[in-house]
Amino acid sequence: MDLLKAMGFGALISGCVAMVIGTQGSSGGQLAIQSMEVADFKMYWSWPVFLACTGVFWGLLLLQR
28 pLDDT exceeds 90? Answer: no
Q: Residue 29: left if φ>0, alpha if ψ -120 to 50, beta else—which one? A: left
pLDDT of res. 51 = 97
DSSP one-letter string for 38-59 = ETTEEEEE-HHHHHHHHHHHHH
What's the pTM? 0.87
pLDDT averaged over every residue in the chain: 93
